[in-house]
Amino acid sequence: MNTEKISDINDIDELKENLLSLVGEFDQKERNYKSEIKILNEQIKSLQDRLFGRKTEKIHKPDGQLPLFDMPEPDLPIQEEPEAVTIKEHTRKKRGRKPLPANLPRIDVVHELTENERQCGCGCLKDRIGQEVSEQLDYIPAKVRVIRNIRYKYACKKCEGTEDDKPAVSIARMPDQIIPKSIATPGLLAHILTAKFADALPFYRQEKQFKRLGVEIPRSTMCGWAMKTAEACDIILAMMKKAVLQSDLINIDETPVQVLKEPGRIKSYMWVFKGTSRGRPVLLYHYDPSRSGDVPASFLNGYKGIVQTDGYSGYGFLDQKKDILHVGCWVHARRKFVEVTKAVSRKTKTPVGNAATALKYIGKLYKIEKTARADQLSSCEIYEKRQTEAAPILEEFKKWLDATVEKVPPKSLLGKAVNYTLNEWGRLIRYIEDGRVGPDNNAVENAIRPFVVGRKNWLFSCTPEGARASAAIYSLIETAKANGLEPYWYLKHLFENLPEAMSDEDFQALLPQQIDKDHITVPTP
């Protein structure tokens, strides 16, 4: 037997050192496992909340009632400061049924007593002393009709057109149509396009509705009408694009869209660019098979001003543009912390831990914006207010983020939220440099929401040409809605007047952001 080996094994100090090393490694692995389990549980709760939870990002305040089946989770310490709450005077609106609109036509239906019912016990007839009126809302189903265009022909029976150079037969000119030689009137086109792109009613459902009315309009026909109509509006859309590029501020967002016959593509994208013209919003939808930064780069070629986006890396090129102030979105940063509160406190419904502290900082920033809107401050006054009130909060928030990032696992939901905010910090704080820009990109996100709602109904576009046509019609409808115009009546007005427009002034007058509400005559029901 090798005695040297036995001696080495019996070295007590070395055995202790090895044992302590193994114990340390075991403890470290256990901590890693626990941390990984915690992160996985957070992800599970976050996924459950996305699938089954409320979609709102509002934080639920505790009402003191304990959950019936779930045991409350232990609350982590919240770094809170006492806040002074000021309750303003307010008038409470009377609850109850709202009166029916006064502009609706009224039909009186008189319910009269019979002579026997008016007979009094004394033998006399009761006299009328008043009346009681109640109103009900009725509905008349839609109806279709045929417009017959009758043009009389005229000819000279004496010379039969041989005495002059004019045609032998004269006939009135047919007004130009948005789709030449089509059976669809501007009213029908406006109805079909509004139903699909404003009310998310696919063509195949409209086909069934028309069939119930006794008219057969195949979905393929409606699709062809939509594409031809969009093509006829090219000059209007080009003017809208020019108006967006002349804006001081442009908001950008994008969302996926499936195009079945897009060669080699599984997922394409619908982009939205929002600008202003004379202080009125202009929304331009743009279809592209790519989500690359080349798409906004091409659109913004030569632009000078402010561009606000979310944290998608495709917008990174904007940081290198000297003539562009690239501003981030606080709503996206806030959303990350809201996800933490939903995942950690799914049972107690209370914001807990460091995520609540972050939400509190962001809430203070938005409280400043709310006050500025209520006081109707100018852009210069908003800039001054942000410099004096928001800048100190941002500085304090940054210190908190720097301290927190060292304490939380980077793969946890809180770690991801903190890291996202720090990575976007340079863009997030730029909104205080100009009073014309808001703290978030909500304006364009709200604009893209109708498209997302429609996508849940019609699911996909068949061809790239159809997707481009959809982008054109969404641009017209959503800009009209943003300017307070009823989309059906705007489209009808556009389709009636666009074929007769000749000059730039005529086309400018048809832009949705140029039309006042009172300019479009909406007939009384």
| Residue 49, CA distances (Å) to 57, 69, 93, 409, 420 in order | 11, 18, 35, 21, 21
**Cα–Cα distance, 519 to 509 (Å, whole number):** 10
Q: What is the pLDDT along the chain (525 residues), one digit of tens a residue?
A: 444 444 554 577 677 677 777 666 666 666 666 666 766 766 676 666 666 666 566 655 544 444 443 333 333 344 444 555 566 666 666 677 788 888 888 999 999 998 888 888 888 888 889 999 988 888 888 888 899 999 999 888 877 666 666 777 888 888 889 999 899 999 999 999 999 999 989 999 999 999 998 899 999 999 999 999 999 999 999 999 999 999 999 999 998 888 877 777 678 899 999 999 888 999 999 999 888 999 999 999 989 999 999 988 899 999 999 899 999 999 999 988 888 887 764 444 444 557 888 999 999 999 999 999 999 999 999 999 999 999 999 999 999 999 988 888 888 888 888 999 999 999 999 999 999 999 998 888 888 888 887 777 766 677 888 889 999 999 999 999 999 999 999 999 999 999 999 999 999 999 999 988 776 666 655
Contact by Cβ (8 Å): 251, 441: yes
Contact by Cβ (8 Å): 424, 315: no
pLDDT at 65: 45
* Distance between first and last Cα of the chain: 111
3-state secondary structure of 324: strand
Q: Answer whether 0.85 is exceeded by the pTM.
A: no
- For 232-295, the three-class secondary structure string (H helix, E strand, C coil) is HCHHHHHHHHHHHHCCCEEEEEEEEECECCCCCCCCEEEEEEEEEECCEEEEEEEEECCCCCHH
Of the candidates 359, 328, 413, 457, the one whose C-alpha atom is nearest the C-alpha of residue 57 is 359
pLDDT at 495: 95
Contact by Cβ (8 Å): 270, 257: yes
3-state secondary structure of 305: strand
Phi first, then psi: give them for residue 76, nearest 5 degrees: -80, 155
- Where residue 310 falls (left for φ over 0; alpha for ψ -120 to 50; beta otherwise) is beta
Residue where the block lists tokens 């979609």: 55
Compute and round to an integer the Cα radius of gyration of the chain.
34
Residue where the block lists tokens 């046509």: 469
Of the candidates 78, 90, 98, 188, the one whose C-alpha atom is nearest the C-alpha of residue 143 is 188
Of the candidates 363, 342, 361, 362, the one whose C-alpha atom is nearest the C-alpha of residue 352 is 342
pLDDT at 480: 94
Contact by Cβ (8 Å): 59, 335: no
Pairing between β-strand 169-171 and β-strand 153-155 as defined by DSSP bridges: antiparallel
Go through the chain and tell me how many residues it has: 525
Contact by Cβ (8 Å): 285, 241: no
pLDDT at 58: 60
pLDDT at 5: 46
Of the candidates 178, 201, 279, the one whose C-alpha atom is nearest the C-alpha of residue 496 is 178
3-state secondary structure of 341: helix
- Where residue 352 falls (left for φ over 0; alpha for ψ -120 to 50; beta otherwise) is beta
Token pair of 435, please? 């009073």
Cα 332 from chain centroid (whole Å): 14
